[in-house]
Amino acid sequence: MKPINLSFSACGFLGIYHLGAASALRRHGRKLLEDVEAFAGASGGSLVASVLLTAPEKIEECKEFVFAFAEETRSQVFGAVTPGYDFMARLRREVESVLPPDAHEQAHSRLHVSVSNTKTRENVLVSSFSSREDLIQVLLASSFVPLFAGLKPVQHRGQRWVDGGLTDSLPILPVGRTVTVSPFSGRSDISPQDKGQLNLRLTVANQDLTLSMANLVRLRQALFPPRKTGLESLHRRGFQDAVRFLRQEDWFE
């Protein structure tokens, strides 16, 4: 049997969709998760992948954090770019509170985090973590959207890194089958299925997307989160889409 990998796309505040999918996988996809050899992700997707791998019992806590973080960001005069508001510091505190002390050991060779090198503009999948702090730095680098999250890229191992979604928004690992999760409709295994759309597609940073008004709305929501009711709807959608996939693949239980 070929190895199974699980990859979560870049998503911004649409990480709430990923958390819905992760909740469904924990509840109804144990057979799949038992077979997953490696996890991957870009930007917010890497955060969800890291939690599902190292602290799956914290998925619900992460959902509540996204609700609070989104509301906090919305309350700022200019959102995340409001002078004096440290978006990345707020994100770091949550990552530090969720990841267990041995997260880097659990993630070593099993978690592949997409980051973009600011000098070469090339993508790198990082899967080696020397310490918990090293893992946290890589996750923050993958989530750093220039200007939106600040002006200074994350420094790691002597180089500067930014959002992995800019160069590879949905990592596909070379060995085995990679099950993909995306809050944007397209060809991902777990994703929304928009109805009544023309079959027009485009590829953005290696991710295949449907060219639709619904995806344009989702792109805006990724950077400028909707109110809690909208986030709750996205979470349910992620859960439902994951359940549909599990049933199709005979992994549902």
Quick one: pLDDT band at residue 197, thresholds 50, 70, 90? low
Mean local confidence (pLDDT), 118-128: 95
Write down the catalytic residue from 163, 168, 189, 241.
163
Return the bridge partners of 40, or none.
Answer: 7, 112
Beta-strand relationship, 36-42 and 111-117:
parallel
Handedness of CA 198, 250, 242, 143 (dihedral sign): negative
Residue ranges of domains in the chain, CATH in brackets: 4-248 (3.40.1090)
What tokens does 124 get? 């790198």
- Is the pLDDT reported for residue 1 higher than 70? no
- Is the pLDDT reported for residue 107 higher than 60? yes
Nearest to 111, CA basis, from 122, 120, 99: 99
Quick one: pLDDT band at residue 196, thresholds 50, 70, 90? low
Q: Which pLDDT belongs to residue 240?
A: 98
Q: Which pLDDT belongs to residue 157?
A: 85
| 142 a catalytic residue | no
Give the tens place of pLDDT for each residue, 130-163. 999 999 999 999 999 987 777 788 988 889 999 9
What are φ and ψ of residue 250, in 5° steps?
Answer: 60, 35
Return the bridge partners of 123, or none.
Answer: 116
Percentage of the chain modeled with pLDDT above 70: 98
Residue 105 has, within 13 A of its CA and on its CB side, a CA count of: 3
Percentage of the chain modeled with pLDDT above 90: 77
Chain-centroid distance of CA 137 in Å reads: 16
| 43 a catalytic residue | yes
Indicate the pTM of the whole model: 0.94
Mean local confidence (pLDDT), 75-81: 86
Write down the catalytic residue from 43, 116, 185, 212.
43
Element (H, E) at 38: strand 36-42
Count of CB atoms situated within 10 Å of the CB of 191: 26
Q: Which pLDDT belongs to residue 198?
A: 59
Element (H, E) at 221: helix 213-223
Count of CB atoms situated within 10 Å of the CB of 97: 10
Chain-centroid distance of CA 90 in Å reads: 17
What are φ and ψ of residue 196, in 5° steps?
Answer: 70, 20
